[in-house]
Chain A
């Protein structure tokens, strides 16, 4: 079974609008971390935001927020006030368990921001 599922191959959004990128995960471990990374066309992976399974509040980092719904096992990324520079691939990833550092990535969502 897929550990991380991103069902949106591509998303379009107009500049200054908000956009939600979906991510669902599958784990039976109560301890896990969820990550979102941005990959521009240049190829580097840029860390955006992190949510721990025991965190009580949704994570926020500037224009990025994570809509964490634990019961539904979803960790959607919300980008507010989209900018042209947000056009990139976005990957959701998960690390399971205490002391287990392997990060498993979803297939990614390509976001295109139009003027």
Chain B
């Protein structure tokens, strides 16, 4: 298993500001993922973050809005830029343990952002 720590756990932000969410894993992992969960909705993948390369973004998400860093195999950050109330969501970091389709995805506790 993996222990994943996310910071902050929750925050209230002003419109137009940016916030960086940190994700720390207790073991080295190749692939890390960032998900968004809007209120009352399911999880949507924002991007896949691989160490040493640029993140791969899903349709509807762009680097200018959600820049991601992956400086090493245990750490990643997601920035939510120029926030608006529509960005109010839970943002979850997750890591893949195992390979291919049999690997298990572990999640951090989530960062609950409210944008006023």
A interface, CB within 8 angstroms of B: 31-33, 35, 37, 42-47, 50, 52-53, 91, 93, 95-108
Contact = CB atoms under 8 A, between A and B. Distances in A.
B100 A98 contact: yes
Q: Is the contact region of chain B dominated by helix, strand, or loop, or is it mixed?
A: strand
A100 B107 CA distance: 18
A101 B108 CA distance: 17
Chain B interface extent, by class: 20 to 34
B101 A106 contact: no
A100 B43 contact: no
A43 B110 contact: yes
A96 B101 contact: yes
Interface in B13-64: 31, 33, 41-45, 48
Interface string B97-116: 00111111111111010000
11 contacts: A31-B100, A31-B101, A33-B101, A45-B92, A91-B42, A95-B101, A97-B101, A99-B99, A101-B100, A103-B105, A104-B45
